[in-house]
Amino acid sequence: MTLTWDDVVAMATALPEVAEATTWGTPSLKVAGKLMARLRTEDDGGLAVKCSAADKEALVAGPDPAYYTLPHYDRSNYVLVDLDRVDHGELAELIADAWHIAAPARLRKQRP
């Protein structure tokens, strides 16, 4: 099943203090004002999601074609996600991890 931006927003806004925003002229999600994901509108598309360097490496090197990177993102801790291919549960987990990375300590203490 193809996921939409609305699906991503629903997953993310279930987490504390997540709000829709605009970043670099594109729809994004922020937790307490810090970027955690951005919908890319460039021709090559994808959802850029904040993650750890280790998770990015594992996802991009793994067999799932839903995860990839581009030269612009090679040195950043964002993995690109193809919403037409990604598993709903896996994306929900990735969004929760992005929240945990981007959220301030006071919020992380409230949600283990």
For 49-90, the pLDDT digits (tens) are 999 999 999 999 999 999 999 999 989 999 999 999 999 999
Mean per-residue pLDDT, 20-28: 95
What percentage of residues in the chain have a pLDDT greater than 90?
85
Which pLDDT score is estimated for 112? Answer: 57
Which pLDDT score is estimated for 45? Answer: 81
In angstroms, rounded to a whole number, what is the distance separating the alpha carbons of residues 96 and 100?
Answer: 6
Average pLDDT, the chain: 94
Which pLDDT score is estimated for 44? Answer: 75
